[in-house]
A and B are shown apart, each in its own frame.
Chain A
Amino acid sequence: MIRWSFIVVLSIAAVGLGVWGYQENQDKNAVLIQAENSYQRAFHDLTFNIDLLHDKIGSSLAMNSKQSLSPQLADIWKISSEANSDVGQLPLTLLPFSKTEEFLYDVGDFAYRTAVRDLEKKPLSDEEVKLLEELHEKSGEIESELRKVQNVVLSDNLRWMDVELALATNDEAGDNTIVNGFKTVEKSMDSFESSVTEVGFGSSGPEKNYRNLQGENLTKEEAKKTASKWLEKVDTEKLTLTKSGKGADVPTYTASFQEGDKNGYIDLTEKGGHPLTMMISRDVNDPEISLYEASEKAKEFVSGLDIDNLELVESNQYDKMGVFRFLYTKNDVRFFPDAVVVKVALDNGEVLGLSARDYYDYHKDQDLNEPEISLEEARSKVNPNVDIQEHHLSVIENDLKEQVLCYEFLTTMESTTYRIFINASTGEEEKVETLKKAEMKFNQEI
């Protein structure tokens, strides 16, 4: 009797386990198919978009009338952006595919700039036509490679999940057909990089990094001393010092210390020992001082930098921290790219952070041209519907990554504030920014 009931219970359990296992397996498969389908969609979208891109670039070359060329270029811009987003949805991050992505970006960049230009007044130059031809050729190469891969994927029922697996286990991913196809595409892009920069377009742009650093190279001992000066005079014995590797834009020393709950970190340039990034981390208590007092502390702190004429342009309270943005000024001209940011703890006014990377990266001692148009002329270029509240002379970096002198107007319309930049030599509207309002709190607890 007992034996029988035992057998019954066990067989019910076995059947139950089987049903449960089967359902789990079904669920797992359903999820896998979902994931596979979204990869497949991104991949087929990508091949389709590249195909379309190739066609559109081709027909833009054959076009003669300016009226149809601009919309065509705008279309190319849109398609390249879509193709780029398709790439972003495929599991290619650990696969060298970045040149192709940059290619797509360059196509979009080029198409955008020429599309918004008045082609009646400034038609495509010979170099630009040449570049367009090259883009056409390259997109053709990508297209045919991708079509080949697509064909294999469809005829052999290849799955992107296997690509993921191959990349994850890294068994010399060479055996996977899809991976191979994408590697071939990437290889075909090798020769492209050089020609795009010649015309002044593209992502790689002119080298700008830290060209104007002043001073002698520091030894390790000097670096430690300088670091300690910035990190609240911490004992140099306690500092750990390392040097940056070969990937760094500018050679730096990194010093850090740990003292109880407090730790500090600083990046100094090897040349001149300028502080790029400084951070001190500790528990911060509730605010005791006002943002105004904190801004005085920040001003005092930046006066210790070897940068003259920093002007406070923006201050913000984030919970227990005050963050202050300073700009370099010269003869009352504010240089927007040359920014220094300081973070102050509002519990005791201690400076907990400095970021001067932007300043040292962009700053160059250039002589400024006098503005060619008057303030009144610039004022007349501003939209008449806004009220001008304040004006300055400023240098900003425009879309073409050039530094240009502008009249800066702080204006209001309704309850929103806008910052408008009018080029001081051409009178063009270079940039209009909406200055962000505080965001209401979405309720965490209801």
Chain B
Amino acid sequence: MLWKKTMVVTAGLVLLIFPIADGTWSKPVHGFSSQVIQQGATGDDVIELQARLQYLGFYNGDIDGVFGWGTYWGLRNFQYEFGLEIDGLAGQEVKDKLVKASNYDEGYVKKQIREGKDFTHYGGVPKSKQTKQPAGQSPPSSKQPEGQEGGQGGGQPDEPTAVNVPSGYSQNDIQLMANAVYGEARGEPYVGQVAVAAVILNRVQSASFPNTASGVIFEPRAFTAVADGQIWLEPNDQAKEAVMDAINGWDPSGQALYYFNPNTATSDWIWTRPQIKQIGKHIFCK
């Protein structure tokens, strides 16, 4: 009987997933596909994993499609309770057990995400009580009030509502740095852009510069792109990627603190700095 039910649920899922996959979804990895889901992943599989874990009461965080620490501990507890190997990876066996033990109301979850609502997916609780509850009733939503009411709609439905960000930085910090990198080095090769981002971060670390990225960027006369307003051009994705790489530890500049374009540099002093290397048009120095 249970087996039959599972079959029906699975078949329903498959039906639900494929038509959409052909149409509006850009992500080919979806709906408990064959992939092993591991910490750090984002996407539809993670939404389903979180929803199913929450159905069983192992996960109390937001169903946001990002496999973070909360999901990791939830999954491990699930593995422990169900006598599986505790490794925090959602492999085939884990997914089978999850599908067997829980119901996943994909239509409901996706609808809430699309509408940008605060919602939960606990088993045995009527759906009407799980959306937009007044603060206090549902532990996860009361702890983290979400400021995305009415957002998310329209634009891109069915995507995770959160993103991974490197520790210590928010998307807005990254955006600001991408602005600076784009203004300073948009004609440079990709490596040159990463190097410029790395110089900003090296300055944040250095004793003789301000201690925040914004302090470094807006230091008077530090960057020509800030002085002439080019920083406010709309950066492209490459500039953002360069900033992400620099934050994640890439530093092609060789721990430089300064760089200059030898053709346009007006200061003699900058030529006295010990040089490290040239990337594209910029010479990087200590």
Contacts and interface: CB of A to CB of B under 8 A. Distances in A.
Contacts of B68: 437-438
B28 A247 contact: no
Given A164-B220, A244-B277, A437-B69, A290 B40 contact: no
B171 A167 contact: no
A200 interface: no
B96 interface: no
Interface centre among A102, A265, A353, A444 (most CB of B within 10 A): A265
A246 B275 contact: yes
B154 A445 contact: yes
B70 A439 contact: no
Contacts of B206: 203
Contacts of B231: none
A263 B190 contact: yes
B215 interface: yes
**Size bin of chain B's contact surface:** 35 or more
Interface in A270-327: 277, 279, 281, 286-293, 295, 314-319, 321-323, 325
A415 B60 contact: yes
A248 interface: yes
Interface in B61-80: 61-62, 64, 66, 68-70, 73, 76
Interface string A5-20: 0000000000000000
Contact of B155 (A88, A90, A415, A445): A445
Interface string A88-107: 11111111111101100110
Nearest to A247: B274
B164 A318 contact: yes
Nearest to B39: A315
A86 to B, nearest CB: 10
A414 B73 CA distance: 12
Interface stretch (A23-31, A249-257, A401-409): A249-257
B210 interface: yes
A441 B278 contact: no
A412 interface: yes
Contacts of A414: 143
Contact of B269 (A96, A325, A415): A96
B244 interface: yes
A290 B73 contact: no
A244 B29 contact: no
Interface string A320-350: 0111010000000000000101010000000
A443 interface: yes
B251 interface: yes
Interface stretch (B30-38, B100-108, B119-127): B30-38
A231 B244 CA distance: 21
A88 B26 CA distance: 45
B191 A290 contact: no
Contact of B27 (A102, A286, A436): A286
B37 to A, nearest CB: 7
A357 B207 contact: no
A298 to B, nearest CB: 12
Nearest to B250: A355
B219 interface: yes
Grouping DSSP codes into helix (H, G, I), strand (E, B) and loop, the B interface class, with mixed when no group exceeds half, is loop
Interface residues of A, number: 85
A169 interface: yes
A48 to B, nearest CB: 19
Contacts of B285: 245, 247
Nearest to A446: B151
Interface centre among A39, A84, A440, A445 (most CB of B within 10 A): A440
Given A85-B215, A90-B220, A245-B277, A355 B248 contact: yes
Given A93-B219, A436-B167, A323 B27 contact: no
A389 interface: yes
B220 A286 contact: no
B41 interface: yes
Nearest to A246: B274
Contacts of A339: 249
Given A101-B208, A245-B277, A444-B155, A291 B40 contact: yes
Given A245-B277, A414-B143, A436-B165, A267 B254 contact: yes
A319 B27 CA distance: 11
A141 interface: no
Interface in B142-192: 143-144, 146-148, 150-156, 160-168, 170-172, 189-191
B220 A281 contact: no
B220 A279 contact: no
A45 interface: no
A101 B164 contact: no
24 contacts: A99-B208, A164-B220, A169-B266, A203-B206, A244-B254, A245-B276, A246-B275, A247-B276, A248-B254, A263-B189, A289-B29, A291-B38, A315-B40, A316-B166, A317-B43, A355-B249, A389-B76, A417-B69, A437-B68, A440-B148, A441-B161, A443-B151, A446-B153, A446-B155
Given A96-B269, A170-B268, A446-B150, 4 more contacts: A93-B219, A164-B220, A290-B29, A343-B245
Interface of B: 26-29, 33, 35-43, 45, 60-62, 64, 66, 68-70, 73, 76, 89, 116, 140, 143-144, 146-148, 150-156, 160-168, 170-172, 189-191, 194, 206-211, 215, 219-222, 241, 244-245, 248-252, 254-256, 266-270, 273-278, 284-286
